[in-house]
Amino acid sequence: MNRSPENSPLYILGIESSCDETAAAVVADGRLICSNIISSQVELHARYGGVVPEIASRRHLELINLIIEQALAEARLNLSELDAVAVSSGPGLVGALLVGVSTAKALAYAARLPLIAVNHVEAHLYANFLTGAGVRYPLVALIASGGHTTLLLMPEPEQIIALGQTRDDAAGETFDKVARAMGLGYPGGPAIDRLAAAGRPDAVEFPRAYLDEEARFDFSFSGLKSAVINYLHHLRQKKEELPLPDLAASFQEALVRVLVDKTVAAAREHNAACVLLAGGVAANSRLRSLMRAELSQALPAVPLYFPPPALCTDNAAMIAAAAFPLYRQGLFAPLDLNAQAGLPPGR
Ligand code: KG4
Ligand code: ZN
């Protein structure tokens, strides 16, 4: 590689395989998407009502080389023109993660590139760096996805502190399980979001778990999930009917309220200069509108940013973007890097 570092952008190839998306992307300087290829396995898992880990791993293995080739071709770069290879090394399904990690290690070794291990949950927030948003610090980020619900604090660019996370079901998982009980199929979040638009959010009062003072930034959604499922059973037993849009809107309201209240409280407590939303659930229209309304009322000077829906759900551009500050700090991974299913956020 003969490019001079001063005027040439830094190209990072990102690889993502932590759950049911096989993805590769090239991002320049952590901000500019040169390519972003995503192959979703949603249809493969839909018939089982959720992700089947073994099927996910096999599919990743079939697709990953092809997806990486496409990402490089679309970016009009070859391996020797890259500056680093970054991979989601956890958290996630261990078999699925291993496909990405092994592929990234092989590429890094073969092309003599530095390898960067990225935390998948932290990476979600970096989707907001790909949209031209004026991110400022300290920032508070809510990462709500199918596998995680986490509140993160970034006091400054290279520091990430986990403020709280879910104690049981993740927000997206709760959407998916409730949708399944309502017969709406997988993934349930988008289906409930659409249905709720025509429903009354105050039709049924479902429980909202705020937890005690020490756990004020943690989440718990299993009580809400059970309450909605029990409510549905009772309706069916008594052969009563409640319009599904009302049920969807009431459930969504209970879940979204808790996400919004805790995020706004964290932003206030930590004097946030901006608030970021990320993860699949950040695509939810009620979460976006309620967060905007509540934040502008409580902290009018604090802007809210969220990525477009395609960058909310799993993708590899966010992995490459998250790797950029690690590259600048020289935080490279060894070639014996392993996948870590339970990798916690924070550094
Ligand atoms: O971030 P993501 O692609 O995967 C994980 O890292 O887990 O998030 C997928 C999750 C699914 O649970 C899906 O139901 C949820 O995000 N989701 C939504 C919406 N779009 C996707 N949940 C609520 N409303 C939506 N519009
Ligand atoms: Zn994710």
- What's the pLDDT tens digit per position in 46-65? 777 777 888 888 988 999 99
The pocket of ion ligand 2, defined by CB under 5 A, consists of 145, 314
What is the reported pLDDT for 7?
72
Among 303, 333, 282, CA closest to 114? 333
What is the reported pLDDT for 223?
97
Which portions of the chain are predicted below pLDDT 70? Answer: 1-6
Q: Which atom of ligand 1 is nearest to the CA of 175?
A: 14
What is the reported pLDDT for 3?
52
Q: Which atom of ligand 1 is nearest to the CA of 18?
A: 6
Q: Which atom of ligand 1 is nearest to the CA of 279?
A: 1
The strand order across the sheet containing 274-278 reads 161-165, 149-154, 139-144, 274-278, 304-305
Residue nearest to atom 3 of ligand 1 (CA): 313
> Taking a C-beta distance cutoff of 8 angstroms, is the pair 170, 159 a contact?
no
Rg for the chain, CA atoms, rounded: 20
| Domains of the chain with CATH codes | 11-125+312-328 (3.30.420.40), 136-306 (3.30.420.40)
Mutate to test the pocket of ligand 1, among 194, 253, 281 (most ligand atoms within 8 A of CB): 281
What is the reported pLDDT for 1?
43
pLDDT tens digits along 215-248:
999 999 999 999 999 999 999 898 888 889 999 9
190 Cα to the center of ligand 1, angstroms: 8
Convert 143-181 to b/e letters by CB count within 10 Å (16 or more is b): bbbbbbbbbbbbeeeeebebbbbbeebbbbbbbbbbbbb
146 Cα to the center of ligand 2, angstroms: 7
- Torsion sign (Cα): 200, 205, 207, 213: positive
Q: What percentage of the chain carries pLDDT values higher than 70?
A: 98
Mutate to test the pocket of ligand 1, among 175, 194, 259 (most ligand atoms within 8 A of CB): 175
What is the reported pLDDT for 2?
43
What is the reported pLDDT for 187?
86
**Ligand 1, pocket residues at CB < 6 Å:** 19, 145-147, 172-173, 175-176, 187-190, 193, 279-281, 283-284, 313-314
143 Cα to the center of ligand 2, angstroms: 9
